[in-house]
């Protein structure tokens, strides 16, 4: 639960705002983001890396208001599309604090990033060395770049979330010499400025040893680059991926300070470190609130589902939920929480104990809903995507408004 969640007469409140009033004002489904919690997690990462850089992974959840918090607190921002670049810009992030990622950035996106003056483009292939060099030359600038390397680590996580192995589509191989060749070509391009190396082993990873091993291999490769190319490499960006618990009783997350200790034990002080946490900042800050519509045959159907949270169907992700709008004295019974979509895979939580008197109109809340939920939400069945309401002590306002049917109809000529 977010730091400022509390219970008042059986009702869940976040930063003093009851979910019933929030649901009445903003409708359901609804994401409630504890702004102070989000910001405190940002600060914890900054404190853990005082001599490094913290790049928030915008793919977890991005909105102009979030960009504003990051900019104000002193974080950098990792983006991976023209859309995320656009939100970074309107949110007021200084371009020199933006890092542009992606395994297949379009030429238009590259031009957009170069023209805006982003602080770094992470080159993911030999093609991109050439594409970014051309875009920078055309724009008459010298673009700072990093080279993304496959560290050759198969971290323990869902296969779709592992990105550090030799067979991943991301980055270039150390083993085959491709990564070294990329550095060599970058150094030969006058429109590119080589600033460092990047790796990212995957997401929702609990095992700190995997991060340490990736760091070890990257430092080894960095020294190799220095020797072979006769340069000093000042920066190492080790990506994001720190896991968070989604269920009560699950192994607690490592803190940013735990990760910093592990990395600093491996990375010499002369190398400036960057990390890219997304989930660990956004995930715990937010609660999803749904209204119960139908209760039948062991199923509790809510007014959202796989369109606003595809994670259970996509990765077998597990969540917990509670009755959030009232106190119930009824015994609990196992039910399956499902959505409103037209397929049986539309399950949010299988087999969870909820009060037996759960009824239409009740609100249920699912914690840890801030990362990769609103950002991966779809319009499946032409549903409109939910708002994200940031709650502060004295105010609650939508930082992403609810989509409307007019928004959807605007797409059709
Ligand atoms: N840096 C890079 C280059 C990344 O690709 C990612 C995430 C991050 C940082 C942030 O990782 P985090 O700290 O959030 O784990 N949709 C999936 C997660 C995909 C992660 C994609 N890349 C899910 O719902 O679990």
Give, in order, the Cα–Cα distances in Å from 83 to each of 22, 112, 171, 401.
29, 11, 22, 17
The pLDDT of residue 160 is 84
The pLDDT of residue 341 is 98
Nearest C-alpha to atom 16 of ligand 1 is from which residue? Answer: 372
Does the beta carbon of 200 lie inside 6 Å of ligand 1?
A: yes
The pLDDT of residue 229 is 98
Atom of ligand 1 nearest to the CA of 310: 24
Q: With a threshold of 0.95, tell me whether the complex ipTM lies above it.
A: yes
The pLDDT of residue 164 is 86
CB 383 within 8 A of CB 307: yes
For 211-245, what is each residue's pLDDT tens digit? 999 999 999 999 999 999 999 999 999 999 999 99
CB 372 within 8 A of CB 298: no
Instruction: Indicate the top mutation candidate among 240, 285, 313 to test ligand 1's pocket, ranked by most ligand atoms within 8 A of CB.
Output: 240
Does the beta carbon of 239 lie inside 6 Å of ligand 1?
A: yes
Does the beta carbon of 240 lie inside 6 Å of ligand 1?
A: yes
For 137-195, what is each residue's pLDDT tens digit? 999 999 999 999 999 988 888 888 888 898 899 999 999 999 999 999 999 999 999 99
Atom of ligand 1 nearest to the CA of 280: 13
Does the beta carbon of 101 lie inside 6 Å of ligand 1?
A: yes
Instruction: Indicate the top mutation candidate among 199, 203, 274, 315 to test ligand 1's pocket, ranked by most ligand atoms within 8 A of CB.
Output: 203
Total-model pTM: 0.97
The pLDDT of residue 334 is 98
Q: How far does the centroid of ligand 1 lie from the alpha carbon of residue 278, in Å?
A: 6
The pLDDT of residue 293 is 98
Give, in order, the Cα–Cα distances in Å from 343 to each of 6, 293, 335, 377.
35, 17, 18, 16
Supply the CATH classification number for the domain 94-277: 3.20.20.10
CB 61 within 8 A of CB 84: no
Parts of the chain belonging to CATH 3.20.20.10: 94-277
Does the beta carbon of 283 lie inside 6 Å of ligand 1?
A: no
Residues at the binding site for pyridoxal 5'-phosphate are 241, 276-279, 372
The pLDDT of residue 251 is 85
- Give the rounded percent of residues in the chain with a pLDDT score beyond 90: 95
Grouping H, G, I as helix, E, B as strand and the rest as coil, residue 314 is helix
Q: Does domain 5-33+283-409 have CATH number 2.40.37.10?
A: yes
Parts of the chain belonging to CATH 2.40.37.10: 5-33+283-409
Is 342 among the catalytic positions? yes
Q: How far does the centroid of ligand 1 lie from the alpha carbon of residue 240, in Å?
A: 7
Nearest C-alpha to atom 20 of ligand 1 is from which residue? Answer: 203
Nearest C-alpha to atom 22 of ligand 1 is from which residue? Answer: 203
Nearest-5° angle of CA 261, CA 265, CA 267? 110
Does the beta carbon of 102 lie inside 6 Å of ligand 1?
A: no
Q: Report the alpha-carbon distance of residue 30 to residue 326 in Å, rounded.
A: 17
Question: In which element (H, E) is residue 364 found?
Answer: strand 363-366
CB 286 within 8 A of CB 34: yes
Each residue's pLDDT, cut to its tens digit, for the chain (413 residues) gives 999 999 999 999 999 999 999 999 999 999 999 999 999 999 999 999 999 999 999 999 999 999 999 999 999 999 999 999 999 999 999 999 999 999 999 999 999 999 999 999 999 999 999 999 999 999 999 999 999 999 998 888 888 888 889 889 999 999 999 999 999 999 999 999 999 999 999 999 999 999 999 999 999 999 999 999 999 999 999 999 999 999 998 988 999 999 999 999 999 999 999 999 999 999 999 999 999 999 999 999 999 999 999 999 999 999 999 999 999 999 999 999 999 999 999 999 999 999 999 999 999 999 999 999 999 999 999 999 999 999 999 999 999 999 999 999 999 99
Given the residues 42, 80, 120, 342, the one annotated as active site: 342
Nearest-5° angle of CA 211, CA 214, CA 216? 110
Instruction: Indicate the top mutation candidate among 59, 121, 378 to test ligand 1's pocket, ranked by most ligand atoms within 8 A of CB.
Output: 59
For 324-352, what is each residue's pLDDT tens digit? 999 999 999 999 999 999 999 999 999 99
């Amino acid at each position: 639960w977010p730091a400022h969640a509390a219970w008042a007469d059986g009702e869940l409140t976040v930063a003093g705002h009851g979910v019933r009033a929030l649901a009445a004002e903003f409708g359901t489904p609804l994401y409630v983001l504890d702004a102070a919690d989000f910001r405190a997690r940002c600060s914890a990462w900054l404190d853990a890396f005082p001599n490094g850089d913290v790049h928030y992974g915008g793919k977890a959840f991005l909105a102009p208001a979030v960009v504003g918090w990051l900019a104000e607190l002193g974080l950098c921002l990792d983006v991976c599309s023209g859309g995320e670049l656009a939100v970074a810009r309107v949110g007021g992030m200084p371009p020199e604090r933006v890092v542009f990622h992606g395994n297949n950035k379009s030429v238009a996106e590259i031009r957009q990033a170069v023209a805006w003056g982003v602080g770094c483009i992470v080159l993911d292939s030999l093609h991109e060395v050439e594409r970014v060099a051309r875009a920078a030359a055309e724009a008459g600038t010298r673009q700072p770049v990093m080279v993304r390397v496959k560290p050759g680590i198969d971290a323990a996580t869902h296969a779709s979330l592992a990105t550090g192995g030799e067979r991943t589509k991301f980055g270039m191989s150390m083993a085959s010499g491709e990564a070294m060749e990329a550095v060599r070509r970058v150094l030969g391009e006058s429109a590119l400025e080589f600033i460092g190396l990047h790796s990212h082993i995957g997401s929702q990873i609990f095992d700190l040893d995997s991060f340490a091993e990736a760091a070890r291999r990257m430092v080894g490769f960095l020294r190799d680059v220095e020797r072979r190319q006769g340069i000093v490499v000042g920066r190492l960006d080790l990506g994001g991926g720190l896991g968070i618990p989604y269920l009560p009783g699950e192994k607690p997350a490592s803190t940013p300070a735990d990760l910093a200790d592990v990395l600093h034990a491996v990375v010499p002080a002369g190398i400036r470190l960057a990390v890219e946490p997304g989930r660990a900042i956004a995930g715990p800050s937010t609660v999803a609130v749904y209204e119960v519509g139908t209760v039948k045959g062991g199923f509790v159907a809510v007014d959202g589902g796989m369109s606003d949270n595809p994670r259970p169907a996509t990765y077998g992700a597990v969540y917990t939920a509670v009755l959030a709008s009232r106190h119930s004295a009824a015994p609990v019974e196992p039910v399956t929480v499902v959505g409103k979509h037209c397929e049986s895979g539309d399950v949010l939580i299988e087999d969870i104990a909820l009060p037996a008197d759960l009824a239409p109109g009740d609100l249920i809340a699912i914690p840890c809903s801030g990362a990769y939920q609103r950002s991966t939400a779809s319009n499946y069945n032409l549903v409109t995507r939910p708002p994200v309401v940031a709650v502060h002590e004295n105010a609650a306002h939508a930082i992403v408004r609810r989509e409307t049917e007019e928004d959807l109809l605007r797409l059709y000529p």
